[in-house]
Amino acid sequence: MIQAFFDGLAASGDPARAEHALGYFPTAMRHLGVTTPRLRACLQPLVRAQRAAPDADVVFALWSNGIFEARQAAYQLLESVPRLRRSLSREAVLALAAGNDNWCSVDTYGTYLAGPAWREGVLTDADIAAWSASPDRWLRRTAIVSTIALNIKARGGRGDVPRTLAVCARHVSERDDMVQKGLSWAVRACIEHDAEAVAEFLTEHDAALAGRVKREVRNKLRTGKKNP
């Protein structure tokens, strides 16, 4: 069944789309240029099989192949089969962060796997703090994006503004573009739960925060939109 998945991916690739994607989120992984709907269709037989009999080895087989879309599929499989995700150990969850070298892989991992695992106590605050302290920009973004699962209803979040802003506070002086964008997203996700705390965060860190972050968060506070 795994081979059938890879065969389906190969048959669904579009070289022109793959070239465009490399410009949008450059990666050392191999892009096939598979559309999201087609990727989901290829994955569906595995989703059905994993719901019946979860097997983490299948996740690692997809994740480790070196194909960008296959890694996305591994994370999507975990999101689609919560029982499979909850079967993973802390060590397995951490291992599945390795090699993420673009914002798309990071954000999918952070919102589908790391964030829920943190929310449910599989990962610890110390694990997130270790990512925050990493010299790897993508792990720092992972720490920030993992907070999305605490606050966005679509990702199972019910609101945890204190923990979110504690993570964000570690990154207020960052000038890396990818980290700044993640920071803005994470802070904005807190607004529906505690807009006052977000406003206080902006005031406290006004001198350190990048202009982009302050602008986008203030826009969201004022108008409900990042870029009105």
Q: Other C-beta atoms within 10 Å of 139: how many?
A: 17
The pLDDT, as a whole number, for residue 114 is: 98
- Is residue 28 a contact partner of residue 48, using CB atoms and an 8 Å limit? no
The pLDDT, as a whole number, for residue 155 is: 85
How is residue 150 written in tokens?
């605490």
Task: Give the C-alpha distances (Å, rounded to integers) separating 25 from 30, 43, 103, 106.
Answer: 12, 22, 7, 11
Q: Do domains 1-87 and 93-228 have the same CATH topology?
A: yes
pLDDT in 10s for each residue of the chain, 228 residues: 899 999 999 999 999 999 999 999 999 999 999 999 999 999 999 999 999 999 999 999 999 999 999 999 999 999 999 999 999 999 999 999 999 999 999 999 999 999 999 999 999 999 999 999 999 999 999 999 999 999 999 888 999 999 999 999 999 999 999 999 999 999 999 999 999 999 999 999 999 999 999 999 999 999 999 999
Per DSSP, what are the bridge partners of residue 67? 30
The pLDDT, as a whole number, for residue 193 is: 98
Domain spans in the chain, listed from the N-terminal domain onward: 1-87, 93-228
How is residue 101 written in tokens?
């070298």
How is residue 19 written in tokens?
């070239």
Q: Other C-beta atoms within 10 Å of 154: how many?
A: 8
Helix axes 177-188, 191-204, angle to 10 degrees: 130
Total residue length of the chain:
228
Q: For the domain made up of 1-87, give the CATH fold.
A: Leucine-rich Repeat Variant (1.25.10)
- Is residue 31 a contact partner of residue 68, using CB atoms and an 8 Å limit? yes
- The C-alpha atoms of residue 111 and residue 108 are separated, in whole angstroms, by 5
Helix, coil or strand: residue 67: strand
The pLDDT, as a whole number, for residue 154 is: 86
Q: Is the pTM of this model over 0.85?
A: yes
The pLDDT, as a whole number, for residue 14 is: 97
The pLDDT, as a whole number, for residue 222 is: 97
Domain 93-228 has CATH 1.25.10.90: yes
- The C-alpha atoms of residue 58 and residue 56 are separated, in whole angstroms, by 5
The candidate with the shortest Cα–Cα distance to 176, out of 203, 213, 205, is 213
Task: Give the C-alpha distances (Å, rounded to integers) separating 79 from 30, 39, 133, 220.
Answer: 23, 14, 27, 28
The pLDDT, as a whole number, for residue 219 is: 98
